[in-house]
């Protein structure tokens, strides 16, 4: 009998220096990196879940968002469940019992000691305890094969397949960015022209009550947060092409800097795309009916929050550069 798959992911390492209440404590950079690595690992192992159940606490929320971005999983696959926050085993079992029929693979994102207790409860036999005494340190992922329906989970009904820590995942393992790949109707990839690898983008910003905000938009499949970007049109300059993408992808108009703030690379179509980024001071968000891609969500965020949602490290550095540039000009 083939079982269902349960992935148990502990949140990434959190930042105790902020002074925030436990529920609102965010991740540190190391925690976000670990979360992205585990998401890339899940995708690499072809274990993308049908449903994600996550604690809504900030450190778990950021872990879930980073992992889902890395594995290319749509936000609609996530269910935020308050029962998972600081929960004992019975609360976690209750959350799992509410999984819809037909869901074969679930990822549960939460906190210790509840997650370790759940794994010990479900797994047949005794758990091997590592030398450091931690079955699930921060960002660790347990994979279990479950031989019961979600509402009928009982002690020992699962086999613990593996426990993976972020340090065991190669640093260069990355989720392939395939959401916009050119494909034939039979699913086969088509070659793309060389000029597709030269792209431009805008980094949209505004000052609201004197505070800087960055706009991010949902990717076309709503799997992650991005900035408006696209292939440089052969008849347009990089700057003009970026301006065009801002209107089409984000429905925004504004003043672009004459010079880019920098660039970054990412893998796609079997090669490396280079994206040149121009800051844009946004002056107008067009009405929904005038926005070509109004099915996409757009969100204004303070720079720190925007950086947490951006997958590309080089793009996060460009956000820092924009913050410094605007601070000097005030």
Collapsing DSSP to helix, strand or coil, 34 comes out as helix
Chain centroid to CA 142: 19
Q: What is the pLDDT of residue 73?
A: 87
Q: Return the closest-CA partner of residue 59 out of 20, 93, 97.
A: 20
Active site residue 11: yes
- Ligand-binding annotation for 84, yes or no, is yes
pTM: 0.58
Question: Which domains are present in the chain?
Answer: 4-168 (3.40.50.1240), 194-329 (3.90.79.10)
Chain centroid to CA 47: 16
Q: What is the C-alpha separation between 219 and 251, in angstroms, rounded? A: 14
Chain centroid to CA 199: 22
Q: Return the closest-CA partner of residue 111 out of 130, 90, 139.
A: 139
Q: What is the C-alpha separation between 246 and 200, in angstroms, rounded? A: 10
CB 38 within 8 A of CB 139: yes
Catalytic residue among 44, 62, 65, 82: 82
Pairing of strands 141-146, 158-164: antiparallel
Instruction: List the chain pLDDT tens, one digit each, 330 residues.
Output: 578 999 999 999 998 888 889 999 999 888 988 999 999 999 989 999 999 999 999 999 999 998 998 888 888 899 999 999 989 999 999 999 999 989 999 999 999 999 999 999 999 988 888 877 889 999 999 999 999 999 999 999 999 999 999 888 877 665 444 444 433 333 444 456 677 889 999 999 999 988 999 999 988 767 788 999 988 877 889 999 999 899 988 999 999 999 999 999 988 877 889 999 999 999 999 887 777 677 778 899 999 999 989 888 899 999 999 999 998 876
- Ligand-binding annotation for 83, yes or no, is yes
- Ligand-binding annotation for 239, yes or no, is no
- Ligand-binding annotation for 85, yes or no, is yes
């Amino acid at each position: 009998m083939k079982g269902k798959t349960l992935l148990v992911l502990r949140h990434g390492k959190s930042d105790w220096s902020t002074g925030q209440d436990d529920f609102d404590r965010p991740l540190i950079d190391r925690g976000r990196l670990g979360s992205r690595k585990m998401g890339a690992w899940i995708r690499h192992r072809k274990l993308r879940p049908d449903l994600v159940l996550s604690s809504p606490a900030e450190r778990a929320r950021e872990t879930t968002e980073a992992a889902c971005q890395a594995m290319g999983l749509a936000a609609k696959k996530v269910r935020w469940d308050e029962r998972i926050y600081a929960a004992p085993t019975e609360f976690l079992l209750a959350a799992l019992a509410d999984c819809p029929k037909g869901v074969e693979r679930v990822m549960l994102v939460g906190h210790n000691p509840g997650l370790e207790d759940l794994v010990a409860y479900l797994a047949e036999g005794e758990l091997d305890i590592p030398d450091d005494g931690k079955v699930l340190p921060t960002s660790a992922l347990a994979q279990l094969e479950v031989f019961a329906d979600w509402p009928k989970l009982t002690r020992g009904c699962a086999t613990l397949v593996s426990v993976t820590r972020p340090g065991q995942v190669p640093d260069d393992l990355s989720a392939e960015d395939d959401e916009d790949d050119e494909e034939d109707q039979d699913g086969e990839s088509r070659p793309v022209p060389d000029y597709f690898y030269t792209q431009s983008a805008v980094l949209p910003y505004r000052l609201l009550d004197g505070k800087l905000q960055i706009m991010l938009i949902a990717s076309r499949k709503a799997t992650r947060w991005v900035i408006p970007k696209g292939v440089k049109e052969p008849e347009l300059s990089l700057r003009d092409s970026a301006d065009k993408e801002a209107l089409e992808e984000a429905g925004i108009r504004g003043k672009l800097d004459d010079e880019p703030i920098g660039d970054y690379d990412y893998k796609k179509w079997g090669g490396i795309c280079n994206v040149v980024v121009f800051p844009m001071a946004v002056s107008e968000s067009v009405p929904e009916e005038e926005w070509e891609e109004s099915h996409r969500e757009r969100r204004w965020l303070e720079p720190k929050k925007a950086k947490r949602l951006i997958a590309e490290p080089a793009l996060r550095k460009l956000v820092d550069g924009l913050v410094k540039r605007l601070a000097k000009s005030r």
